[in-house]
Amino acid sequence: MNIAVIGAGAVGGYFGGRLAAAGHQVTFIARGATLHVLRTQGLHITSPLRGDAHIPVRATDQPDEVGPVDVVLSTVKLYDLEASATAMRPLIGPGTVVIPLQNGVDARAMLMPLVGADHVAAGIAYIVAVADRPGHITHVTADRLVFGEADGSTSARLQAFAEAGRQAGFVTELTPVIETELWIKFVRLSTWSAMTGVTRSPMGVIKAYPSLMTMMDQALEEAVGVGHGRGIVFPPTLRDATQQLVRNFPYGSKSSMLEDLERGRRLELPWLSGAVARMGAEAGVPTPVHSFVSTVLAPFVAGPPVPPPA
């Protein structure tokens, strides 16, 4: 397949690199130091799970040099998503499908008016990895993509991409219920991001304090309640399965939002706890924990607060 990957961080770098290594025509749309390294040194993946790889790759900051492709994987952070849609337009042909892999549940709706509703599917990345330096991905565990058409159809274009992923050695799942799958990840991630972010602590610390575990359970219930208010039907095992996942987290597990907070980067807070609070207000569902988290972390959304000049 002919595939363009917007962004070459942990998600885009890993999945795009594996697709390129399997012989698919992959082009990374990147910039800055990452673009330079990809062009001159290729992409390096360190992975105890799937094996290390050094992959020569195509990379550019000029999408019009690439032209229409079969699949666009959008892997930028949510705060860059709308701006990245401009870069996508030269990549869109009559049969192109865009698969956004951002956190939250807003990405598809954000992209539809910008690149055309018929071109946008929806997707979720389950992976623990970090881009620890430009052009280098350290993969810890999990490498699964879940994706689907909004109408639940089993389209040929997504079937083809699912097969490409299997050829590349990672797990693919084409689902007819992508909206439910998005919300399952959303209620968990928004809760885990909230708790690790507001405490500035890994999951091991939270698990050591019963009061914090109670707060986390409350945050999960709020997010699930918001989903119910928007017509989402969750599996009955969601709460028990989520608690089991939490029990299995290693002590040092951190959400990507905590990683960003610690490194002084922008936060996806408006699309996580902020979104829970916003949609809760719209649906008449109280969200005290997520509203509190959104409030106290608001000064850090754009990076560390900058004091006014003296």
E-state strands within the chain: 2-6, 25-29, 43-46, 53-55, 58-60, 71-74, 97-100, 122-133, 136-148, 171-174
The residue type at 21: A
Spatial distance between the Cα atoms of 275 and 100, rounded to a whole number of angstroms = 18
Residue 254 has pLDDT above 90, yes or no: no
Which residues, in sequence order, are CB contacts of 170 under 8 Å at separation 6+? 15, 18, 50, 143, 144, 145
Q: What is the pLDDT of residues 127-176, one digit of tens each?
A: 988 898 999 999 988 899 999 999 999 999 999 999 999 999 999 999 99
3 state SS of 56: coil
Quote the longest CA-to-CA distance of the chain: 61
Average pLDDT for 101-130 = 94
CATH architecture, range 2-176: 3-Layer(aba) Sandwich (3.40)
Cα distances (angstroms) measured from residue 55 to each of 21, 39, 46, 238, 293: 6, 11, 11, 39, 41
3 state SS of 129: strand
For residue 90, the model assigns a pLDDT of 96
Domain layout of the chain by residue ranges: 2-176, 180-299
Across the chain, mean pLDDT equals: 95
Tokens representing residue 25 in the block: 């025509």
Q: What is the pLDDT of residues 216-241, one digit of tens each?
A: 999 999 999 999 999 999 999 999 99
For residue 137, the model assigns a pLDDT of 96
The domain defined by 180-299 carries CATH number 1.25.40.10: no
**pTM for the structure as a whole:** 0.93
For residue 145, the model assigns a pLDDT of 98
Residue 94 has pLDDT above 90, yes or no: yes
Q: What angle do CA 163, 164, 169 make, to 5 degrees?
A: 95
Residue 310 has pLDDT above 80, yes or no: no
Rg (CA), the chain: 19
Average pLDDT for 75-83 = 93
Q: What is the pLDDT of residues 28-63, one digit of tens each?
A: 999 999 999 999 999 999 998 899 999 999 999 999
Of 175-179, 245-249, 275-279, which range is least confident? 245-249
Determine phi and psi for 249, rounding to 5 degrees. Answer: -65, 135
Spatial distance between the Cα atoms of 289 and 215, rounded to a whole number of angstroms = 7
Which residues, in sequence order, are CB contacts of 305 under 8 Å at separation 6+? 299
**End-to-end distance of the chain based on CA atoms, in angstroms?**
56
C-beta of residue 141 within 8 angstroms of C-beta of residue 49: yes
Average pLDDT for 88-100 = 97
Determine phi and psi for 213, rounding to 5 degrees. Answer: -65, -40
Residue 16 has pLDDT above 80, yes or no: yes
